[in-house]
Structure 1
Amino acid sequence: MTGPPKTPSLAAELSAEFAGTLILILFGVGVVAQVVAGGLGDHDSIAWAWGIGVTLGVYVSARLSGGHINPAVTFALAVFKGFPWRKVPAFWAAQFAGAFIAALLVRWDYSEVLAKFDPGHTFKSQFVFSTLPGNGTLPIGTWGAVRDQVIGTAILLFVVLALTDLRNSPPLANLTPVVIGLLVVAIGMAWGTCAGYAINPARDLGPRLAQYITGYDTAWRDQHGDLYFWVPIAAPLVGGVVGAGLYLLLIGRHIPEPEDFQAAGAERKPEYDVP
């Protein structure tokens, strides 16, 4: 006889978060480098590659860690879904490290391409790695970017909670990562103008540090000269809590618990059947 499944150790969870975030950033930052500096592809290429990167990163890490690969997800789950607060700093560190190493790999592999496209390592190519308000060209300031990141991350967490709530109608056959990836594609296509849809503090901070130590002296500021690095960190954390809270308020609290389905005259759903 076999016993109950072994709970992964914290080290295994952190390894998974590192690897999942690494995969996400390899595809995400890699595609921006290819489109911006290499001249291959367009905005749709960027949106699709980020979404596919999310899907693959979640598949890589979900079994061991739950596939957060985003500090805003980890934080919202700690606030509302019982994720242990003692694990939050460690998860954040693993996610940041994965994003940082992935960005260094992209920076190294695209070094000749970036040097030809932008020899001075200026704002012209800075947003290959980190986000800027208005994507560096449109008249969006710091607080406009804060607004945008709160809204974008709220959308992300609202839908993620809907897709992962077993009491709702989640995707079956292990397709949840695919649908979450499509969600990120949609956010990129609809909400990418004002601040580059970071919606993930690790996605921005890790690559921002990588570019700073490899020659981008302006990495911490935006094109207006304002200190900007904190926006894609703080605003997604706030937006994630807002989105998760709104899901629970508008949807989650109205869905019957498993034991309430029969009492309510509803058919018991297969995912609640326990041997």
Structure 2
Amino acid sequence: MARITVDHVEEEFTKTTDKTNCVFGICSSPSTVTIAQKLIAEVIGTYFVIFAGCGSVVVNKIYGSVTFPGICVTWGLIVMVMIYSVGHISGAHFNPAVTITFAIFRRFPYKQVPLYIVAQLMGSILASGTLALVFDVTPNAYFGTVPVGSNCQSLVLEIVISFLLLFVISGVGTDDRATGELGGIVTGMTILLNVLVAGPISGASMNPARSIGPAVVKHVYKGLWVYVVGPIIGAIAGAFAYNLIRFTDMPLKDLVRSGSFLRGTSVK
């Protein structure tokens, strides 16, 4: 979730080598191997984000030993840890809303979007399945996200907190003037704050994969659309807002008219 850019090393390497290498009848290319590595990183990263985050929820509901602030800290820490672990491999999205948003703003190739989303959903479902096997998850101990109030209330909260998340990620993860080394810490702290504020009402998903995985495993689909629509809308709006205020010599009205804000780069 912290840094999303096209892998220039991959492009140059592909240009200077044969496009296909056949060994024992199996054909592959450098780009295919690299994409496979990214997808594996996304599966593993998403798995542990969901396993730790949702695990803290179910442990607290069953044993009462984690507490709500502990859950908030767990979500922030696991995201931070996984960003620093695989961010340099896959970009550490772990979130379909992040992947879709960066593709829209031309910081991620469209052709890889479906692959990333499948990998993220796979990681979430596997982690949710693990938790369901390890713990006796009763309806009262469900670790997914279900609106406590109305669907509209949770939808608004999901849009707002997802807006903040992508606004922050756009600042620390895509702007060269920011201190990129702190991206994982800042992103983790943003998630911690969002869970602290919205957790008791909407569950503070910010991530369709986080909600879909537990819903599929435990067959709880109440209000699931909120956690698909809300994060995507909020994420796109947050990245849009940051790219509007990003430094440029072009007047705002001309910037919007030209569509340069979609590229997220300074216009000189």
TM-score of the superposed pair, with normalisation by structure 2: 0.78
Q: Shift of residue 171 of structure 1?
A: 4.1
- Among 211, 229, 236, the residue aligned to 1:204: 211
- Inter-partner Cα distance in structure 2 for 1:83 and 1:169: 19
1:63 aligns with 2:79: no
What residue is the counterpart of 1:125 in the other structure?
141
Retained in 1: the 8 A contact 2:96–2:207? yes
Cα RMSD (Å): 1.8
1:193 aligns with 2:200: yes
- Inter-partner Cα distance in structure 2 for 1:229 and 1:144: 14
- Inter-partner Cα distance in structure 1 for 2:64 and 2:132: 16
What residue is the counterpart of 2:52 in the other structure?
27
| 1:176-213 CA-partner distances (Å, limit 9, x unpaired) | 2122111111111123232110000001101211122x
Retained in 2: the 8 A contact 1:20–1:56? no
Retained in 1: the 8 A contact 2:169–2:183? no
1:242 aligns with 2:249: no
Structure 2: 5+ residue stretches without partners: 1-8, 14-30, 251-268
- Inter-partner Cα distance in structure 1 for 2:248 and 2:49: 34
| 1:99-119 CA-partner distances (Å, limit 9, x unpaired) | 1101111111112xx3xxxxx
- Among 129, 146, 168, the residue aligned to 2:155: 146
SS at match of 1:132: coil
**Larger helix share, 1 or 2:** 2
| 1:77-106 CA-partner distances (Å, limit 9, x unpaired) | 011133111111110000010011011111
Retained in 1: the 8 A contact 2:80–2:188? yes
Structure 2 counterparts to residues 68-217 of structure 1, below 5 A: 68-111=93-136, 114=137, 121-122=138-139, 124-126=140-142, 128=143, 130-134=144-148, 140-172=149-181, 175-212=182-219
- Inter-partner Cα distance in structure 1 for 2:195 and 2:135: 23
| 1:143-170 CA-partner distances (Å, limit 9, x unpaired) | 1111111111001000011111343322
Retained in 2: the 8 A contact 1:58–1:69? no
TM-score of the superposed pair, with normalisation by structure 1: 0.76
- Inter-partner Cα distance in structure 1 for 2:46 and 2:164: 20
What residue is the counterpart of 2:37 in the other structure?
12
Retained in 1: the 8 A contact 2:163–2:237? yes
Runs of 4+ in 1 over 4 A off after TM superposition: 4-8
- Inter-partner Cα distance in structure 2 for 1:141 and 1:247: 30
Q: Shift of residue 253 of structure 1?
A: 4.0
**Amino acid paired to 1:19:** I
Q: Shift of residue 56 of structure 1?
A: 1.9
What residue is the counterpart of 1:265 in the other structure?
none
SS at match of 2:227: helix
| 1:37-74 CA-partner distances (Å, limit 9, x unpaired) | 11112110100001111112222321211111111110
- Inter-partner Cα distance in structure 2 for 1:254 and 1:42: 45
Q: Percent identity?
A: 27
Structure 2 counterparts to residues 211-226 of structure 1, below 5 A: 211-212=218-219, 219-221=220-222
What residue is the counterpart of 2:78 in the other structure?
53
**Amino acid paired to 1:179:** V
Q: Shift of residue 254 of structure 1?
A: 3.7
**Amino acid paired to 2:157:** D
SS at match of 1:9: helix
What residue is the counterpart of 2:257 in the other structure?
none
SS at match of 1:81: coil
- Inter-partner Cα distance in structure 1 for 2:48 and 2:99: 18
What residue is the counterpart of 1:262 in the other structure?
none
Structure 1: 5+ residue stretches without partners: 115-120, 135-139, 213-218, 222-227, 257-275
Which one is further off, 41-50 or 159-168? 159-168
